[in-house]
Chains A and B, each alone.
Chain A
Amino acid sequence: GQNIDQPTEMTATEGAIVQINCTYQTSGFNGLFWYQQHAGEAPTFLSYNVLDGLEEKGRFSSFLSRSKGYSYLLLKELQMKDSASYLCAVLDSNYQLIWGAGTKLIIKP
């Protein structure tokens, strides 16, 4: 079966750096997405990786290793507004998105 694993919850301090990991086993691979979702709201797109390596976008970076079935989302200079759930999703061989359960990130002052 297809499976995506992420930690359920993480806690970090304002101004610090946090890395959220995602591992996947899917039928084919056509890219990996990270979405941010604040409580009670819709997910918003953060990043898309299809090739190995690091993609940097402001305070957020996303890394992919296809051979290891592994990705991480790195958040720098954490702000209170970064408190949210972070969803990892993989586009499989049929171009359908397989979703992880999400990682709830709690930022403390």
Chain B
Amino acid sequence: EAQVTQNPRYLITVTGKKLTVTCSQNMNHEYMSWYRQDPGLGLRQIYYSMNVEVTDKGDVPEGYKVSRKEKRNFPLILESPSPNQTSLYFCASSSSLAGSYEQYFGPGTRLTVT
């Protein structure tokens, strides 16, 4: 089954404790992206990757890091989480962005930073 998986689905952590949220897709997609969703603000893009070893900042990259060492995986790293990073995070992938934006989204990771 074609899908995007995220782990963990729920995470409660404390300020400053490094964490990684994993994202994996099995569709051989080139494009992957991370979003955060907050009440009243909709979906905001954090980082995206056009292909392996190619990443770039979205609209809200501060406090986050990503890497794309292989095509299927795109982990999101929070080196020193803070309470303002408490949010619902979604990973997405797409086969191509040449004028087409049909993205497949993961189930989401709800992060709470205390």
Tell me, yes or no, whether A binds B. no
Which B residues fall within an 8 A CB radius of A?
A: none
